[in-house]
Amino acid sequence: MTTRWFGAPVQRVEDDRLLRGRGRFTDDIDQGALECCFVRSPHAHARITSIDVSAARQMPGVVAVYTAADLPFGGVDLPLLIPHPNLTHGRTQRCLASDVVRYAGEAVAFVIAESRYLAEDAAELVQVEYEPLPVVITPEVAARAERLVHDDVPGNVAAEMVQEVGDVNKALAGAAHRKKLSLRYERGAASPMEGRAVWARWLSAERKLTVFDSTQSPTSIRGGLAVLFGLPESNVEVIAPDVGGGFGPKIMLFYPDELLVPYAAMQLGRPVKWTEDRQEHFTAVNQERGQVHEVEVGFDDEGRVVALSDDFIHDAGAYTPYGIILPIITAAQVPGPYRIPNYRVRFRDVYTNATPTSPYRGAGRPHACFVMERTLDAIAAELKLDRIEVRRRNLIPPHAFPYEVGVAWQDGNTVVYDSGNYPELLDRALVLLGPRPEGDGVGMGLAIYVEGTGVGPYEGAHVQVLVSGKVVAATGIPSQGQAHATVWAQVVADELGVDVADVEVTSGDTRRFPWGVGTFASRGAVTAGNAMHVAARMVAGKAKHIAAEHLEANPDDLELVDGRVRVKGSPDRGMPLAAVAVLANPVRYAFGGGTEAATQFAARPRPGPPLQEGEQPGLEATGYYSPPGSTWASGCHAAYVRVDPKTYRLEILRYVVVHDCGRVINPLVLQGQIEGGVAQGIGGAFYERLAYDADGQLRNASFMEFLMPYATEIPPIEIDHIETPSPLNPLGVKGAGEAGVIPVGAVLASAIEEATGMPITEMPLSPLKLYELSRSLNPG
Amino acid sequence: MRVNGVDHPAPADTRLLLSDHLRHELGLTGTHVGCEHGVCGCCTVLLDGAPVRSCLMLAVQAEGHDVTTIEGLARDSGPLHPVQQAFHESHALQCGFCTPGFVMSVVGLLAQHPKPSAQEIDEGIAGNLCRCTGYASIRRAVTRAVELSK
């Protein structure tokens, strides 16, 4: 393969329409749609004693008001998406609550009106009476089980899981040194700039349901809607149009609106649209990161870990729609790039009266990295060793791959690192970081992480060469800004020997490609990217086969270059790919575009029927890629910071990243992913924190108080790469979407600890947190 | 009000936000709504040449004023405005949702400071939130836009 586009900094093909204001986000679609507003519970835990919607129903402009009693599926629990044997007490909510609400923001009624303004007016007329119940709000309180979130879930424990590699008790008993740490991570929020939105239309004559949804998984939404409404999947179309950021929580099915909006459209015979507002995004969209870890580590005189025990509680929130994927990932990722010969991890997934949790960029990994890196810093402090040296002594060496960690992974396999070079990451990061800046109060932090990416089960792609010679390609998974249309065009263009500008990619539209799973877990490039590669290669093979007959050559002697199929070494002997596309479809009726060349009286190079056994018309193919296991990306981040001794303002003096995601498809896109990830990590480590009070009220449900960083808070990020190709997939790629976020908390904790001299055991921090910590260490 | 050089009748509903009026009455959906409380900057438009948040204004307040939205910067399929072009060249957008607001803010910034310092750039874009890019590429885009505007 002559690689031209793979690896090149190709500028994005998506940009033009987005820059001109011609993007198509779900709320941009109107077509006379009715609009909706939810009535949500103001209580974190309460029994509903009555719901009166009569005044709302009578308001002019209101078309319908639904409560659970009005829905044929009102009594059905929403799907538990990822069941697991250890999830013994999984619970999911109903579309609209009718009995008990278990978090502030849980949906109770749904108002549909001629406009959003009227729907909001009518929502205020809905009278719901509640009898408040005791609230369980932190993971520690939940684990004490003095009060229950679900009456029938003893101890508030949804799931418990214990895994052990080696013999931790024995190794701890024999260790020269032992140390215990208590570490805490609080909830944050993904906060994509576009909230969620759903638009639906039902064409009763065709029995066709069309749904635009700002989801990360249109194929799964389609499957679910088909089941719920008893329709063949072919009668349900789900499209994720332009999606304004996802970062995880847009892959939940179903949020209540994803059922209610299509249902309303079918009932009312008009298009219906619901667009979330920012306040409800804060309470009704899944969150993540709340965990409390109790760690014990045993180590030798050189700082080598001989045993690690981690017992942690994961804050599930009020329900477990996403199963126990998050604590499974944390449990698997605590060891990170380090050799831990004896490792035991136990987690309990506990219910609280807060918004449910599901993966948010990083998904269980930032906490795992924080735990491991804080532990290594503690070892260095205990032995008065250099923090870098302690890490170096524990890193898995480059010759140890494949390296089996031996604990469960999120795809049902166990964790096996496929490739990497962790010492090289560390060395390069130190070079890039450079000398310590002058002045007092400077702290250095560093963290190394791995990330299981490219999880299965599979993705697919369809690639077709049109008779114009242009190429169209489609896959099921949508983009939320990751430049799918550009990078997959690069992959396809290489296989077909065409210009990248001649490949038009559609993603996340079940009308174009109905199969697949979704965009999450840094998996797009690995799964859909390789599926594109597979499908394009099949098309290239078909093109060679057809052209070979016309060129009287062996298919193996042909190559696809510059939009032509030609004989290697004799570039004049060839034909345009467009002509091959014509010949691929024998026709009776020439319909233009050169198709007369494929009619039945045209010259044919072979006897027999035009389409022979096993052949299919069209220069097209559908290919799939199903990974045998996750492929493991890795990286090292390091920083110098300064903390103002009076105001505790954080100044990040330098921040460097050395990253390894295998072969890089597009360095521009990758740089954007990393820069954006680090910024999100900095926000999550020092500015953003979801502040629930003891009554389960989220006290900062707005951008006024949930402090997402602006440009003024984010420093320049210096980036370097190494490439250890994955041996698991044809392209040798690993995922990169989440990498930037993962180690930031660990890096800043280490740096701030050194800068301030105060022990850092929790995330996120803030100037206020540091001030409070200082007061607690120096009372009076 | 005049929007992108075209006069439009006054909005009928006095409580309609300017952002909703632009999007849903005039069909100018390039102006995005990210928070509706004036923090994210996605809805930034130019009012008589200066950036404003269209979610913090009633449409009727724009009566008698000139409004420019993202759709008003470049002709239909003509070349991009230098700021738009700079955003493209600098990979300064990913999902594209905050982008129109950023572009309008930068147009406003460069009108005021044709050669902004690094600090003026940061302050000029510090009224807009982006969750994808980490701002580094947006800073580069502003610098590039200065070059392209020469």
Least confidently predicted of A1-15, A269-283, A333-347, A423-437: A1-15
Among chain A residues, the shortest Cα distance to B134 is held by A676
CATH 3.90.1170.50 in chain A is located at 31-133+196-243+250-284
pLDDT tens per residue across span A577-635: 999 999 999 999 999 999 999 998 888 888 899 999 999 999 999 999 999 999 999 99
CATH code that applies to domain B82-148:
1.10.150.120
What is the phi/psi pair of residue B71, to 5°?
-65, -20
- Predicted confidence at residue A605, as pLDDT, reads 83
Query: How large a percentage of chain A has pLDDT more than 70?
Result: 100
Alpha-carbon A643 to chain mean position = 32
Smallest Cα distance from A420 to chain B, Å = 27
CA separation for the pair A682, A686 (Å, rounded): 6
pLDDT at A566: 97
Chain B, nearest residue to A25 by Cα: B97
Strand runs (DSSP E) across A466-537, as ranges? 471-475, 503-507
Q: Where are the domains of chain B?
A: 2-72, 82-148
Taking the C-alpha atoms of residue A243 and residue A307, their distance in angstroms, rounded to an integer, is 45
For residues B8 and B74, is the Cβ–Cβ distance under 8 A? no
Distance, in Å, from the CA atom of A532 to the CA atom of A139, rounded to the nearest integer, reads 43
B35 with A21: Cβ contact below 8 A: no
Q: How confident is the model at residue A1 (pLDDT cuts 50, 70, 90)?
A: very low
SS3 of residue A325 by DSSP: helix
The DSSP secondary structure of A57-121, one letter per residue, reads HHSTTEEEEE-GGG-TTTTSBPP-SS--TT-TT----BSS-SSEE-STT-EEEEEEESSHHHHHH
Strand A343-351 vs strand A305-317: parallel, antiparallel, or unpaired? Answer: parallel
CB–CB of A392/A364 below 8 Å?
no
CB A362 within 8 A of CB A330: no
Interface of B with A in 49-68 (CB under 8 A): none
Q: Are strands B6-7 and A762-763 parallel, antiparallel or unpaired?
A: unpaired
Summarize the confidence of residues A408-413 as an average pLDDT: 90
Give the model confidence (pLDDT) of A420-464 as tens digits: 999 999 999 999 999 999 988 999 999 999 999 999 999 999 999
Q: In angstroms, how far is CA A647 from the centroid of its own chain?
A: 35
List the structure tokens of A350. 């506990």
CA distance B34 to chain A (A): 6
Chain A residues with CB under 8 Å of B136 CB are 675, 714, 716-717
Contacts of A435 (CB under 8 A, 6+ apart): none
Q: Are A632 and A404 contacting, i.e. CB atoms less than 8 angstroms apart? A: no
B4: helix, strand or coil: coil
Residues above pLDDT 90, as percent of chain A:
96
Nearest to A353 by CA among A135, A134, A154: A135
**The two structure tokens encoding residue B142:** 């502003």
Average pLDDT, chain A: 96
Does residue A780 register a pLDDT over 90? no
Which CATH entry fits the domain spanning A363-454+630-777: 3.30.365.10, 1.10.150.20, 3.40.50.11540, 3.40.50.1000? 3.30.365.10
- The mean pLDDT of B80-84, rounded to a whole number, is 98
CA A669 – CA A15 distance, rounded (Å): 12
> Within 13 A of A286's CA, how many CA atoms are on the CB side?
30
- Which residue type does A232 have? P
pLDDT (average), residues B71-95: 96
- Report, as an integer, the average pLDDT of A471-495: 97
Summarised one tens digit per residue, pLDDT across range A160-179 is: 999 999 999 999 999 999 99
Closest chain B CA to residue A709: B129
Residue A233, classified by CB atoms within 10 Å of its CB into exposed (0-12), middle (13-18) or buried (19+), is: middle
Contacts of B142 in chain A (CB under 8 A): none
The dihedral over CA atoms of A511, A515, A516, A517, expressed in degrees to the nearest 10, equals: 80
DSSP state, residue B79? P
Q: Is the ipTM of this complex over 0.90?
A: yes
Q: Which range is most confident: A29-33, A494-498, B76-80?
A: A494-498
- Strand duo B2-3 + B66-68: pairing: parallel
Please, which pLDDT band fits residue A3 given cuts at 50, 70 and 90?
low
| Cβ contact, residue pair A245, B132, below 8 Å | yes
Q: Which own/partner contact pairs does A148-152 have at CB distance under 8 Å and 24+ positions apart?
A: A148/A351, A149/A45, A149/A102, A149/A318, A149/A351, A149/A352, A149/A353, A150/A89, A150/A91, A150/A102, A150/A351, A152/A89
From 1.50.10.20, 3.40.1190.20, 3.90.1170.50, 2.40.30.10, which CATH number describes the A31-133+196-243+250-284 domain?
A: 3.90.1170.50
How distant, in Å, are the alpha carbons of A33, A153, A308, A451 from that of A333?
46, 28, 13, 8
Instruction: Output phi, psi for A100, to 5 deg.
Output: -125, 135
**φ, ψ for residue A123, nearest 5 deg:** -60, -35
Cα separation of A147 and A135, whole Å? 7
What does the alpha-carbon distance between residue A185 and residue A179 come to, in Å, rounded to a whole number?
A: 20
Residues B19 and B105 sit within 8 Å (Cβ to Cβ): no
* Residue pLDDT, tens place only, A676-723: 999 999 999 999 999 999 999 999 999 999 999 999 999 999 999 999
Is there a contact between A247 and B97 if contact means CB atoms under 8 Å apart? no
Categorize the per-residue pLDDT at A90 as very low, low, confident or very high, splitting at 50, 70 and 90: very high
3-state secondary structure of A547: helix
Q: What is the DSSP string of A708-725?
A: ---GGG---EEEEE----
State residue B150's pLDDT score: 86
Confidence of residue A113 (pLDDT cuts 50, 70, 90): very high
Residues in chain B: 150
Single-letter amino acid code for the residue at A301: D
Mutate to test the interface with A, among B94, B107, B133, B144 (most CBs of A within 10 A): B94
8-state DSSP, A26: G
- Average of pLDDT values for B21-36? 97
CATH of A457-625, one of 1.10.8.640, 1.10.340.30, 3.30.43.10, 3.30.365.10: 3.30.365.10
**Across the interface, do A703 and B39 touch by the CB < 8 Å criterion?**
yes
* End-to-end Cα separation, chain B, in angstroms: 31
Question: What pLDDT does residue B12 have?
Answer: 84
- Collect all residues with Cβ–Cβ distance below 8 Å to A144 and sequence separation of at least 6: none
Residue of B nearest to A282 (CA): B35
B2-72: CATH number: 3.10.20.30
Sign of CA dihedral A613, A618, A619, A622: negative
At A255-276, the pLDDT tens digits run 999 999 999 999 999 999 999 9
**CA-based radius of gyration for chain B:** 15
A10 DSSP 8-state letter: P
Whether B30 sits inside 8 A of A20 (CB atoms) is: yes
